[in-house]
Amino acid sequence: MTTIDQQATVGQLMVEQPARSSVFERWGLDYCCGGRKPLHQACAEKGIALEAVVADLESCTSRSIAFPEPDWNEVPLSVLADHIVSTHHAYVRWSMPRLSAIIEKVCNAHGQRFTHLYEVREIFAVLRVEFEAHIAKEEMVLFPLIRQLEEMSDLGVTAHLPSVRYPIVAMETEHDSTGRALEDIRRLTDNFTRPSGACNTYLAMLDGLNALETDTHRHVHKENNILFSRAMDLENNATPTRT
């Protein structure tokens, strides 16, 4: 059985074994935006028994089959960036228009009875605009810069490149905003619980929002804790003069 380092950050524990995401999701522990917090601190802030989480994590040693992904710490940064675009960005572009339509339909049918749905609709509308703009900025600005940084580093070429630090800080700030919006939606929907008398479209809305949150957690984890961290290390260890 794997021994869990309680001083390790939640993000580090997730990087070591991606299958642990199921444990963190179950306990409501943030492994993406809040991934820099030590496990003991994250549990204390949530009011969760550290021993129970550790026991759950220690039993999570044979779940990697459910996550047939490579070790993202070992692949080239460009490969990881391409994976994020083709998997997680593609999911955002597919799921958000669908969810917008479903939320609108549910509000029209159940809004007068469940008035919190109007707030869910408002939060999601802002989230969609910001998230779609966010992934576009990553694809047009930050990811090409990371690919260029990696390419120049592999060639051992000294070049004047813009620093990745500033766009990374901006993207991480936007990740925090996305996380807060999803937390608000989870709270308003009582942890995506179907109320009595709600139709199947209501259930589809809750299922879609839950799936979006789960995918976003994995998406942001791969960026904050792996791609961005490795890019910063690469830049810090390089010698070129930067603008």
**53 shares its domain with 84:** no
- Are 205 and 230 in a shared domain? yes
181 shares a domain with 62: no
Give the mean pLDDT of 65-76: 75
131 and 178 share one domain: yes
pLDDT at 160: 72
Tokens at residue 69, please? 């992904």
With cut-offs at 50, 70 and 90, classify the pLDDT of residue 66: very low
Q: Are residues 111 and 168 in the same domain?
A: yes
Confidence of residue 55 (pLDDT cuts 50, 70, 90): confident
> 115 phi and psi, to 5 degrees?
-70, -20
Q: Helices 165-188 and 228-237, interaxial angle, to 10°?
A: 160
* 99 and 211 share one domain: yes
Residues 100 and 48 in one domain: no
| pLDDT tens digits, one per residue of 179-193 | 999 999 999 999 999
pLDDT at 30 over 90: no
pLDDT at 57: 85
Query: In terms of domains, do 139 and 221 share one?
Result: yes
Range of the domain at 224: 77-237
Is 199 found in the same domain as 178? yes
Q: Is 98:70 a contact under the CB 8 Å cutoff?
A: no
One domain for residues 60 and 142: no
How many domains is the chain partitioned into structurally?
Answer: 2
The three-class DSSP label of residue 239 is coil
Q: Evaluate whether residue 34 is within a structural domain.
A: yes
Digit-coded pLDDT (tens) for 163-174: 999 999 999 999
What is the DSSP code string of 100-166?
HHHHHHHHHHHTTTSTHHHHHHHHHHHHHHHHHHHHHHIIIIIHHHHHHHHHHHHHT----B--SHH
The residues that bridge with 38 in the sheet, in sequence order, are 9
Same domain, 33 and 103: no
